[in-house]
């Protein structure tokens, strides 16, 4: 079951802890005896997004890898995602702390074939002047992103903590 949530700008200012509102909805749902798990997920960008790995120079913009980018709460196991290496997001991953990320196993294999992904830094490349570097803290199992019938569907994904997102819309 998927339900969209949209927080109206007129009711919630940018100073409101939007992620806390999403998280309270998730926790409220978990109080129901018929719901075993729940996750809140928001698109950081629509579709595939170019990204950069710190220390890698790309000759052309088109050489940059592309990936899906999502902001997620805890509880990714609700959609069948498992932790392969590193750690899940936790209380360390707030807006006051360093930016963190988890990457899918397929993306980790492409970007770091020698397996040295944990501790590496990445960022989305669509606006390098404002996009902060994020440290990879976990590797998670692959799930298909995008339309399965599209050539743009991919298991490559970056997950950012919902607590570090300013998104006003999400799915639970």
Cα separations in angstroms, 86 against 15, 103, 135: 31, 10, 12
Q: What is the mean pLDDT of residues 71-84?
A: 86
pLDDT tens readout for residues 81-102: 999 999 999 888 887 778 999 9
Across all residues in the chain, what is the average pLDDT?
A: 83
pLDDT tens readout for residues 7-23: 777 777 665 567 778 88
Per the confidence metrics, is the pTM higher than 0.75? yes
Neighbouring residues of 19: CB distance < 8 A, sequence distance ≥ 6: 71, 73, 95, 161, 162, 163, 164, 165, 167
Percent of the chain with pLDDT over 70: 92
Q: What is the mean pLDDT of residues 23-27?
A: 82
Q: Which one has a higher pLDDT value, 144 or 121?
A: 121
Cα separations in angstroms, 135 against 6, 80, 117, 164, 169: 28, 23, 9, 13, 24
- pLDDT recorded at residue 4: 75
pLDDT of residue 141 exceeding 80:
yes
Q: What is the CA radius of gyration of the chain?
A: 16
- pLDDT recorded at residue 45: 78
pLDDT tens readout for residues 108-139: 999 999 888 999 999 987 655 557 899 999 99
Backbone angles phi, psi at 77, to 5 degrees: -60, -20
Measured distance CA(141)–CA(125) in Å, rounded = 24
């Amino acid at each position: 079951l998927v339900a969209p949530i949209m927080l109206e700008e007129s009711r919630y200012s940018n100073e409101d802890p939007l992620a806390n509102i999403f998280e309270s909805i998730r926790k409220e749902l978990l109080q129901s005896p018929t719901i075993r798990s729940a996750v809140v997920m928001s698109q950081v960008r629509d579709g595939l997004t170019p990204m950069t790995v710190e220390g890698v120079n790309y000759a052309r913009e088109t050489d940059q890898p592309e990936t899906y980018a999502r902001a997620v709460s805890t509880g990714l196991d609700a959609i069948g995602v498992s932790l392969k290496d590193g750690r899940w997001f936790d209380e360390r991953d707030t807006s006051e702390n360093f930016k963190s990320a988890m990457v899918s196993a397929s993306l980790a294999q492409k970007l770091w074939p020698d397996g040295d992904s944990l501790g590496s830094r990445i960022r989305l490349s669509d606006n390098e002047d404002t996009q902060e570097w994020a440290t990879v803290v976990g590797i998670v199992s692959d799930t298909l992103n995008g339309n399965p019938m599209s050539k743009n569907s991919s298991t490559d994904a970056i997950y950012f903590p919902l607590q570090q997102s300013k998104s006003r819309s999400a799915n639970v």
